[in-house]
Chains A and B, each alone.
Chain A
Amino acid sequence: MAITKKQSAQLAKQVFEYAPAPEAIDHVKIQPRYGLFIGGKMVEPHSKKHFPTINPATEKKLAEVAEADALDVDRAVKSAAKAFDSWSRLAPSQRSRYIFRISRLIQERARELAVIETMDGGKPIKESRDVDIPLAAAHFFYYAGWADKLEWAFPNRKPKPLGVAGQIIPWNFPLLMLAWKIAPALAAGNTVVLKPAETTPLSAMLFADICMQAELPPGVVNIVTGAGKTGSLVVSHPGVKKVAFTGSTEVGKMIQKQLAGTGKKLTLELGGKAANIVFEDAPLDQAVEGIVNGIYFNQGHVCCAGSRLLVQESIAEPLMEKLKRRLSTLRLGDPLDKNTDIGAINSRAQLEKIQGLVESGLQEGAELYQPECQLPEKGFWFPPTLFTNVSQSYRIAREEIFGPVLSVLTFRTPAEAVEKANNTPYGLSAGVWTDKGSRILWMAEHLRAGVVWANTFNRFDPTSPFGGYKESGFGREGGIHGLAPYLDLN
C-alpha cells in the first residue's frame, strides 16, 4: 500500500507537535570584522579588503573577514617557516602538551563553537553540538598523544617533520576539518598555514583565539581567510612543503596539476558518490535510520554521504514506504532550534547547484518524492528529496550533488550490488545493511572504497583512518595512518 504525500504529511502532524526550542546565542560574541591570524596575533590584511560572511538561514551578515592577498599569504608562510625552527626542535612532550591544551580549550568553549558553526554554516545545532565540536576536540586529544611517540609508529624509520603545511578546508564541517588538518600536522612537528572556506570562516577565527589562549608559540598556526584565489596562493607558495586539501574532486585535480614537479607532498580528500546497500535480510527500521543519517545528515553536505541507495529488489517497495514515512517526520528549519533535523543549505551557489542537478534528474526521467515541507521565506533551503526510477547513467546517480538528495536504484544479487556500487570514478565510502556476517565481510572486501560502514553509516572517530580510493583522493586522515602524510619517513 503506497502512502500518499498528503497521508504522510497528516501522519507527521498527528505524531509530533513541537514548540520552538532555540539555542541561546547571547553568550556568543561575533566581532564585526576579523583580520588574519599571523605570527600569533590578529593582523590587518595588507590587501585592505574584507568580505561578508552571512548566516545562510537568515541571509543576514554576521561579520566581515579579511581577503588575504599574495603578500598576506607570504607573511603567513614566512611566519610559519620561522616558527618551524623552534617548534620542530621543541621537546616532543612539550609539543604534545600544547595540543592537549588546545583540545581542552575546545571542550571548554564547546557551546560557543557549536553556535558559531551553526550560525555561519547552517547546520542543525544538534549536529554541531553533538558531532562536529566533540569530534574536533577528540581529534586534537588523539594526536596530542602521538607527538612524543612518533618513533613507535613507524618501525625502522626516524620520522622527521616536513616544514610548513598549507591546508585548505571545506565549508561542510569547518572546525572538524580544521582539526583533521591541524592536529596531525602539529603533532608531527610541522607548522601550518590554514585557509578556511570563504562561507564558513568564523569558527576558524574563534580557533585563532583558542591558539592565543593556549599560548601556542607565535607562527605555529596561521589562518588566512579568502576564496579560491587565496587558497591557490597558499598551495603554490614555495615555502610550503606539504599541501593537504579537502574539497571537490574538480579543485583537487587542479591542485595536483598545479603541484606537478614541485616535490611538495600532497594529500587529497575529495568527492564521493557512496552506495548505501540494503539487503533483504537487513533490519529495515534500523536501515531506514541509517539511510536518513547517510544522506540527510548535514543537509547532505558530506563527501562520504550515502547518496546512492541500492536496495535489493524484493524489499524495494516496503523500504520505500518506510523511508517516505520517515522523511515526512524530518523537521526542516531554524538550524539553531534543537529539534531541527535539516538546516539551511550552506550558500546560494550550493543551493543553485542542487536545484540544477535535481532538475536534471527530472528531465532524465527519474521520479521525485519530497515530503510536504514548508520552507522558511528567508535563507537557502532544500527539502529532503528522493528519486526513484533512477538509471545508473543519470547525472543524479553519477555526480556528487552535495545536498539532501537521494537516488534509489535496485539490485538482485550481491555481485550486482558490488558492480553497481563500484561503477563510479569515486571511492570514498560505502554502506552495507544485512544480518549475515559473512556477507558483510564479503561486501566489505569487494567494495572499492576507503571506508565501509556495515549496519551503520557516517560514523567518525580520530582513531579511524578516513580517505578515498580512485578519484576520491589519496592519503588518510585519522589514526596512525593519518600521521604519515605529515612526516618524512626516508
Chain B
Amino acid sequence: MDVRKTYKLFVNGEFIRSESGRAYQPDGNVNVPRGSRKDLRDAVRAARTAFNGWAARTAMNRGQILYRAAEMLDSREAQFTDLLGGGAKAKREVEQAVETLVWYAGWTDKLPQIAGTVNPVAGPYFNFTLPEPTGVVGIVAPGQPALAGLMRRIAPALCGGNVIVALAPEETPLPALTLAEVFATSDFPPGVVNVLSGQRRELLPWLAAHMDVNAIDVAGCTPDEVEAVEAAAAGNVKRVIKVSPTESSPYLITAFMEMKTVWHPIGV
C-alpha cells in the first residue's frame, strides 16, 4: 500500500496547509490546497523579508544555488516525468526545465557585464549603470507546459536576484507544488521562492493589486486577465511583464530588473 503525499503550499521555506483549510481536486482525485488571500499576503511578506538577503548574495552564490536546483530537479527526473504523464514528451519537458535552470545559473555573474554600462558623461565624473533586482515578483505560470513553462518564468527572475510568489497553474498544479520540494532542497533562503496553489480568480486580483509586489509576470494569463492585472498594477506602478512564454534570454532577466546609475566626481 502506498504512502500518499499530502500536497501543500510552499511559503517562507515551509510546506503549509492553506490557512483557509480548503482544498480542491483539479484531477478529481488528489486534494490540492486552495490558497486564500491570507496565504497570498503571507507569501508576499515572506518574500519581502527574504529580498535584501537574496539580492545581497554574490552573483556566484546565486548561480551555485540555481545550479544546485538543476541538480535536484535532474535527480528527480523520473518522478517529474511521471507527474507530467510519462513518456518521451514528458521526459523531454523535464530535461528542458533542467536545461533552463543550468542556462540561467550561468547568467548570474555575466548579466551585469552585458546589461551594465560605463557612461562617458561630458564632465569630470565617473558614471556607471548596473542592473538590480526589482524586488518581489508575482509569477502567473502558464498551464502548459506545466513544468518547463513555470521554470522559464521563475529562473530568470531568481537569476536577477528577485524573490518570487508563483501561482501554480490552476488545472495542473502538481508539477509546480512538487517543484517547490526541489527549491526547498537547493539552499535557497526561506521566502525567496513561494508557491501557491488555488483558484486563479481568488488569488490573481490580490497579487495584481498588492502594494508590496513590484512586478508581475502574466505569461499564464488570458487576455482578459492581463487587462485586469494591468489595471490593478497601476495602483503601485507595478511592472507588468509580457514576453513570449517559450523564450529563454538575458532580455528576460533584465525585464525583472531596474537600472541604477551612480555618479561620482573625479578630482585630485
Q: Which residues of A contact B (CB under 8 A)?
A: 138, 155-157, 249, 252-254, 256-257, 259-261, 268, 270, 425, 440, 444, 449-456, 459, 461, 463-467, 469-474, 476, 479-481, 489-490
Cα separation A467 to B129 with both chains bound (whole Å):
11
CB pair B259–A465 under 8 Å, yes or no, is: yes
Besides the known contacts A456-B125, A463-B127, 9 further A-B residue pairs in the complex with CB atoms under 8 A apart: A260-B228, A268-B237, A444-B260, A455-B264, A456-B265, A465-B117, A465-B119, A470-B236, A481-B129
Given contacts A451-B260, A456-B264, contact A481 B117 (CB under 8 A): yes
Cα separation A490 to B82 with both chains bound (whole Å):
34
Q: How far is the CB of A406 from chain B (nearest CB, A)?
A: 21
Cα separation A456 to B121 with both chains bound (whole Å):
14
CB pair B263–A451 under 8 Å, yes or no, is: yes
> Which residues from 229 to 258 on chain B have a C-beta closer than 8 Å to any C-beta of chain A?
229-231, 233-237, 239, 244, 249, 251, 258
CB pair B260–A260 under 8 Å, yes or no, is: no
CB pair A260–B231 under 8 Å, yes or no, is: yes
CB pair A440–B226 under 8 Å, yes or no, is: no
Q: How far is the CB of B135 from chain A (nearest CB, A)?
A: 8
> Which residues from 112 to 127 on chain B have a C-beta closer than 8 Å to any C-beta of chain A?
114, 117, 119-123, 125, 127
Contacts of B117 on A, CB cut-off 8 Å? 465, 479-481
Q: Which residues of B contact A (CB under 8 A)?
A: 114, 117, 119-123, 125, 127, 129, 134-135, 214, 223, 226-231, 233-237, 239, 244, 249, 251, 258-265
Cα separation A413 to B263 with both chains bound (whole Å):
23
Contacts of A470 on B, CB cut-off 8 Å? 135, 214, 236-237
Contacts of B262 on A, CB cut-off 8 Å? 444, 451-452, 454
CB pair A461–B230 under 8 Å, yes or no, is: no
Contacts of A261 on B, CB cut-off 8 Å? 223, 226-227, 230-231
Q: How far is the CB of B245 from chain A (nearest CB, A)?
A: 13
Chain B residue nearest to A459 in the complex (CB): B263
Cα separation A155 to B261 with both chains bound (whole Å):
22
CB pair A253–B127 under 8 Å, yes or no, is: no
CB pair B231–A453 under 8 Å, yes or no, is: no
CB pair A469–B114 under 8 Å, yes or no, is: no
Contacts of B122 on A, CB cut-off 8 Å? 138, 461, 463
CB pair B258–A253 under 8 Å, yes or no, is: no
18 contacts between A and B (CB under 8 A): A138-B122, A252-B237, A253-B237, A257-B230, A444-B260, A449-B260, A450-B259, A454-B262, A461-B119, A461-B122, A463-B121, A465-B119, A469-B134, A470-B236, A473-B237, A476-B259, A479-B129, A479-B261
Contacts of B123 on A, CB cut-off 8 Å? 459, 461
Q: How far is the CB of A413 from chain B (nearest CB, A)?
A: 16
Contacts of A249 on B, CB cut-off 8 Å? 237
Neighbour of A454 across the interface among B119, B214, B258, B263, CB < 8 A: B263
B interface SS class: mixed
Contacts of A256 on B, CB cut-off 8 Å? 230, 233-234, 237
Contacts of B134 on A, CB cut-off 8 Å? 469
CB pair A474–B239 under 8 Å, yes or no, is: yes
Neighbour of A270 across the interface among B129, B214, B227, B237, CB < 8 A: B237
Cα separation A261 to B228 with both chains bound (whole Å):
8
Contacts of A469 on B, CB cut-off 8 Å? 134, 258, 260
The 6 closest A-B pairs by CB, nearest first: A261-B227, A260-B230, A256-B234, A461-B121, A260-B231, A257-B234
Cα separation A155 to B115 with both chains bound (whole Å):
11
CB pair A461–B127 under 8 Å, yes or no, is: yes
Q: How far is the CB of A269 from chain B (nearest CB, A)?
A: 11
Q: Which of A451, A455, A464, A489 has the most CB of B within 10 A?
A: A464
Cα separation A466 to B260 with both chains bound (whole Å):
8
CB pair A253–B265 under 8 Å, yes or no, is: no
CB pair A471–B263 under 8 Å, yes or no, is: no
CB pair B119–A257 under 8 Å, yes or no, is: no
Cα separation A343 to B99 with both chains bound (whole Å):
60
Q: How far is the CB of B17 from chain A (nearest CB, A)?
A: 33
Cα separation A464 to B239 with both chains bound (whole Å):
22
Cα separation A459 to B122 with both chains bound (whole Å):
10
Neighbour of B236 across the interface among A440, A464, A471, CB < 8 A: A471
Q: How far is the CB of B147 from chain A (nearest CB, A)?
A: 24
Chain B residue nearest to A458 in the complex (CB): B263
Q: Which of A268, A440, A459 has the most CB of B within 10 A?
A: A459
Q: How far is the CB of A274 from chain B (nearest CB, A)?
A: 13
Chain A residue nearest to B127 in the complex (CB): A464
CB pair B239–A459 under 8 Å, yes or no, is: no
CB pair A465–B129 under 8 Å, yes or no, is: yes
Q: How far is the CB of A19 from chain B (nearest CB, A)?
A: 31
Contacts of A471 on B, CB cut-off 8 Å? 236-237
Contacts of B259 on A, CB cut-off 8 Å? 450, 465, 467, 476, 481
CB pair B231–A459 under 8 Å, yes or no, is: no
Contacts of A268 on B, CB cut-off 8 Å? 237
Q: How far is the CB of A389 from chain B (nearest CB, A)?
A: 29
Chain A residue nearest to B236 in the complex (CB): A471
CB pair A465–B261 under 8 Å, yes or no, is: yes
Contacts of B265 on A, CB cut-off 8 Å? 455-456
CB pair B261–A450 under 8 Å, yes or no, is: yes
Q: How far is the CB of B47 from chain A (nearest CB, A)?
A: 15
Cα separation A452 to B236 with both chains bound (whole Å):
22
Q: How far is the CB of A115 from chain B (nearest CB, A)?
A: 24
Cα separation A428 to B119 with both chains bound (whole Å):
19
Q: How far is the CB of A181 from chain B (nearest CB, A)?
A: 18
Q: How far is the CB of A462 from chain B (nearest CB, A)?
A: 8
CB pair A451–B236 under 8 Å, yes or no, is: no
Q: How far is the CB of B80 from chain A (nearest CB, A)?
A: 30
Contacts of A156 on B, CB cut-off 8 Å? 249
Contacts of B236 on A, CB cut-off 8 Å? 425, 470-471
Contacts of B251 on A, CB cut-off 8 Å? 157, 489
